[in-house]
């Protein structure tokens, strides 16, 4: 066999291996998952590695790690992940009516999350959560810690917020009653947020509003 023939054979072999790897990666990222837990691995060079439907029924989200979450209010729960780094991993797990989102990797992953209802946002470990559009809700609880950032536009009867550990919370919209707890190292921006009544107290992480238990741990 000549040198050219050998090289052509090797090239075909490499192309076949590449095709198999690409097909396998595509199958992993294109599959629609309806189980309570799943993990999305980014595919190198692909900014849209996954578009999946999460099991329905959650109205609380807990976000941590190197991830930016854009929140949308819609008629059907949905999640889409974008990242430009092949080693980035985003995991999702549903526990009761809470959706847990965790990201690992050097580059920040972006998650587009649509919810039908929202009662609580928890963000920690440098996570960033931003609402898209205004959320009209009966109540909203927001917990921000470990240098996380949350920016939410909400109109609700009751809003309860806890901000600690050099974290940042930006509120816009309005509420009848805002109960706020913040430590000295954190920032609460309410420049564009109107409240008929505002109460502030020392930071604790346990409360009940409208029958919703409100306990978090680091």
Provide the pLDDT for residue 41: 45
Provide the pLDDT for residue 119: 98
pLDDT at residue 120 is higher than 80 = yes
**Least confidently predicted of 4-8, 94-98, 117-121, 159-163:** 4-8
Report, as an integer, the average pLDDT of 105-117: 92
Mean pLDDT of the chain: 78
Provide the pLDDT for residue 55: 59
pLDDT confidence bin for 89, thresholds 50/70/90: confident
Report, as an integer, the average pLDDT of 162-177: 98
Provide the pLDDT for residue 35: 37
Provide the pLDDT for residue 52: 55
pLDDT at residue 158 is higher than 50 = yes
Provide the pLDDT for residue 198: 95
d(CA 84, CA 49): 9
Provide the pLDDT for residue 47: 52
pLDDT at residue 26 is higher than 90 = no
pLDDT tens-digit series, residues 187-202: 999 999 999 999 997 5
pLDDT at residue 90 is higher than 60 = yes
pLDDT confidence bin for 84, thresholds 50/70/90: confident
Share of the chain above pLDDT 90, in %: 56
pLDDT at residue 133 is higher than 80 = yes
**Least confidently predicted of 16-25, 58-67, 84-93, 160-169:** 16-25
3 state DSSP class of 34: coil
Report, as an integer, the average pLDDT of 51-60: 71
**Least confidently predicted of 85-94, 117-126, 140-149, 167-176:** 85-94
Strand partners, 37: 93
Exposed, middle or buried: residue 155 (CB in 10 Å: 0-12, 13-18, 19+)? middle
**Helix/strand/coil (H/E/C) assignment for every residue in 110-170:** EEEEEECCCCEEEEECCCEEEECCCEEEEEEEEEECCCCEEEEEEEEEEEEEEECCCCEEE
d(CA 14, CA 7): 10
């Amino acid at each position: 066999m000549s040198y050219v023939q050998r090289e052509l054979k090797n090239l075909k072999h490499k192309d076949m291996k590449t095709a198999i790897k690409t097909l396998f990666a595509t199958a992993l990222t294109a599959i629609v998952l309806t189980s309570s837990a799943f993990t999305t691995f980014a595919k190198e060079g692909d900014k849209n590695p996954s578009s999946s439907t999460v099991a329905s029924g959650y109205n609380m989200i807990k976000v941590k790690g190197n991830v930016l979450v854009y929140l949308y209010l819609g008629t059907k729960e949905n999640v889409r992940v974008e990242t430009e780094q092949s080693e980035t991993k985003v995991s999702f797990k549903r526990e009761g009516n809470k959706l847990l989102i965790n990201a690992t990797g050097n580059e920040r992953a972006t998650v587009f999350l649509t919810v039908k209802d929202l009662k609580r946002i928890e963000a920690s470990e440098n996570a960033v959560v931003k609402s898209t559009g205004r959320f009209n809700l009966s109540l909203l609880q927001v917990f921000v810690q470990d240098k996380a950032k949350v920016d939410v536009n909400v109109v609700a009867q009751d809003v309860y917020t806890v901000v600690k550990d050099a974290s940042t919370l930006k509120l816009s919209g309005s509420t009848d009653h805002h109960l706020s707890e913040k430590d000295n190292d954190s920032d609460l921006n309410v420049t564009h947020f109107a409240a008929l009544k505002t109460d502030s107290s020392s930071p604790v992480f346990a409360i009940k509003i409208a029958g919703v238990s409100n306990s978090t741990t680091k």
